[in-house]
Amino acid sequence: MTDKGDLTSEKQALRRQMKQARSQLSPDYRQKAEATIYQRIWDLPCYQDSQTIFIYQAMPGEVATRPLIEAAWRDGKTVALPRVYPQRQMSAHLYQPGDDLIRSAYGAWEPSAESAIVSPTTIDLAIVPCLAASHSGQRLGYGGGYYDRFLVNTNAVRLLPIYDQILLDDLVVDDYDQLMDLVVTEARVLELER
């Protein structure tokens, strides 16, 4: 097996392990942690100064994002959500109050194909999901590379919310894996250099 194959196998094993770890977090812990994570994000200058936010619709086990989306609307910010396409491509689409979302092939809620596309160059803050993250801003996604390919096209601040109980010391990453600028947990805000 090649080094690339070993890395892929290691990442797949870690994905399974992290899904299991996330599933064992109690609802009470999640709720309290999320309230603190939201406040930490709202207090950050990168949030306060942002005009356009790219943010995911949370899947089961991820830090919920609906309160962040609603706060961004109240704060007069433009909100964009990801929409995935074949060939592992993703684009940002405008999401406004009252807009309908549709379920993607992966189970995530996303804007319709008819919704306006938001240019990656206009995004100030990208709030990115993960299965795992490290103290140094490494991110383990779901294996499709969608966010890695998208993030290379924007200068947005990259913020990753995660529960502190599943934050790791280190992760194995590929050359193409994109690093985060900020990792926000209920216990800390890690400001990183990429």
Looking at the structure of the chain, the number of domains it has is 1
Determine the pLDDT at residue 176: 83
148: in domain: yes
Instruction: Check if the beta carbon of residue 165 is closer than 8 Å to that of residue 142.
Output: no
Residue 180 confidence class, pLDDT cut points 50, 70, 90? very high
Mean confidence (pLDDT) of the chain: 93
Query: How far apart, in whole angstroms, are the C-alpha atoms of residue 94 and residue 112?
Result: 10
Determine the pLDDT at residue 5: 64
At 70, list the tokens: 């609603």
Residue 2 confidence class, pLDDT cut points 50, 70, 90? very low
Higher pLDDT pick, 119 / 113 = 119
Q: What's the mean pLDDT in 175-185?
A: 92
Structural domain of residue 128, as residue ranges? 4-189
Query: How far apart, in whole angstroms, are the C-alpha atoms of residue 7 and residue 122?
Result: 34
At 153, list the tokens: 């096209």
Q: What's the mean pLDDT in 3-13?
A: 76
Among residues 193, 181, 187, the alpha carbon closest in space to that of 50 is found at 181
Determine the pLDDT at residue 194: 66
Determine the pLDDT at residue 118: 98
Per-residue pLDDT of 159-169, as tens digits, reads: 999 999 999 99
Q: Measuring CA to CA, how many Å separate 117 from each of 17, 89, 136?
A: 35, 13, 32
Per-residue pLDDT of 17-41, as tens digits, reads: 999 999 999 999 999 999 999 999 9
Query: How far apart, in whole angstroms, are the C-alpha atoms of residue 152 and residue 177?
Result: 10
Query: How far apart, in whole angstroms, are the C-alpha atoms of residue 133 and residue 136?
Result: 8
Residue 1 confidence class, pLDDT cut points 50, 70, 90? very low
Determine the pLDDT at residue 71: 98
Q: What's the mean pLDDT in 81-106?
A: 92
45: in domain: yes
Instruction: Check if the beta carbon of residue 56 is closer than 8 Å to that of residue 127.
Output: yes
Residue 4 confidence class, pLDDT cut points 50, 70, 90? low
**Beta pairing, strands 78-85 & 89-94:** antiparallel
194: in domain: no
- Residue 62, domain CATH: 3.40.50.10420
Whether residue 101 has pLDDT greater than 60: yes
51: in domain: yes
Query: How far apart, in whole angstroms, are the C-alpha atoms of residue 163 and residue 168?
Result: 10
Please give, one letter per residue, the 3-state secondary structure of 124-171: CEEECCCCEEECCCCEECCCCCHHHHHHCCCCCEEEEECCHHHEECCC
